Structure 1
């Protein structure tokens, strides 16, 4: 007979809605007019901090508890900081909304089966910091909204439009037809990212942790490029690579 799940984790898993936790993620979600909020679980001390930064509307669904009460709503050891917000997932955005000329040379970020929510959250944070137009992922083999992803994004989940597509290769075709220069990051490429970016309107394509870009995804890129890292290191974590690449793209704006 298998071990019974820890009651704290079991209760967290039974929630029908994503639960966002931590001050940055919760306040960003509360401030997002496109976000539907279900219930705010909060300690009295955290409410005093929240009221200094955000005015809850009258009638907002609030349930007070202590740290242990909130701890039972989230994964073990999750740093909730006294705030847990139940929300409805944001609607996926339409790719066509980001293929016009209104965004100048700001980059699109495309992820090819990056599944770790911490990495996707960190990439969203860098995308917001360096002015990316949107994040594009395949709706399969990519994480859904979660507390861990939102915490890693530190508010950027509410700021960067997230486009989920059925077929990534087809989406890359549409992106190329719209005038984006599709650059796939590959450590084995011969050209450095600065040279590849040049004067382009880039779509930056990052592969999965460990495996890198799939062959079909690489075939739908205009070129492959690498980061000029030391030969002593084989590669970087995908979120670190994305941050450096987005910084390089932002320097041209």
Structure 2
């Protein structure tokens, strides 16, 4: 625990509580609800005024760990850690907190493109591992990216696994889902962004390819990389200067390095 934490006043947890609806399972509950677990993911969701919450299952220690006070009428059910384990994915580190809430509202690409052009944009081509998407969201928050963009059919749903890996970033980084990724890249170019696709076989390094203006970074799935059509919608392809001893990096690591390069250009 950092020095002075106990002396700081607790902020109100502002999330909107809704009527409890049924549903069991792990990750994504029935009736369209999402189950989040772990202190950082749950705390961030509770502080997000755009979330509608339905119920919080928690141990007393889990409630005490939250940085904030729940509203007096918030629906909480106290439970033992073993009981919480039955509400989430097997071996999920729930840390005494499981929150059932509604998914976040859809966000449109056009709204993001009207924002701050100095913030980078991340486009993920068929990155389907929820741990990777969550880690990329976390890096996007750390390096002030304006959003991530994925194709709706080839990306994981909003879930507890994504939220836990994102460590709170799911609540602060807009996640835009589009039907056609190539068409979205055309819209991004029309907004003035220079589209750089990361590819290990590219001749130019990322540092050489980075422009001074708005940047959209495009990353493909680990192994397959970007699809040919998506690479064809990039203004440039660039590689990260990794050692020949390694063929490639995990896509979430590559995203973090690329975002750092943009932040320090």
Unaligned runs of 5+ residues in structure 2 are: 1-23
In structure 2, the residue matched to 1:60 is: 74
How far did 1:156 drift? Answer: 0.2
Q: 2-side partners of 1:104 and 1:11: how far apart? A: 40
Q: 1-side partners of 2:27 and 2:101: how far apart? A: 15
In structure 2, the residue matched to 1:6 is: none
Q: TM-score, normalised by structure 1?
A: 0.92
How far did 1:162 drift? Answer: 0.8
Q: 1-side partners of 2:227 and 2:148: how far apart? A: 18
Q: How many residues align?
A: 240
In structure 1, the residue matched to 2:178 is: 165
User: Is 2:27–2:35's contact at 8 Å kept on the other side of the alignment?
Assistant: no
Unaligned runs of 5+ residues in structure 1 are: 1-9
Secondary structure of 1:12's counterpart equals coil
In structure 2, the residue matched to 1:71 is: 85
Secondary structure of 2:261's counterpart equals helix
How far did 1:11 drift? Answer: 4.2
1:238 aligns with 2:254: no
How far did 1:195 drift? Answer: 1.1
In structure 1, the residue matched to 2:52 is: 36
How far did 1:12 drift? Answer: 3.1
Secondary structure of 2:217's counterpart equals strand
Show the 5 A alignment for 1:55-204.
55-100=69-114, 102-204=115-217
In structure 2, the residue matched to 1:26 is: 42
How far did 1:13 drift? Answer: 6.9
Structure 1 runs, 4 residues or longer, greater than 4 Å off:
none
In structure 1, the residue matched to 2:241 is: 228
Secondary structure of 1:103's counterpart equals coil
Deviations 1:174-194 (A, max 9, x none): 000110000000000000001
Deviations 1:182-237 (A, max 9, x none): 00000000000011113131000000121000011001100100000001111000
**Aligned Cα RMSD in Å?**
1.3
Q: 1-side partners of 2:148 and 2:250: how far apart? A: 18
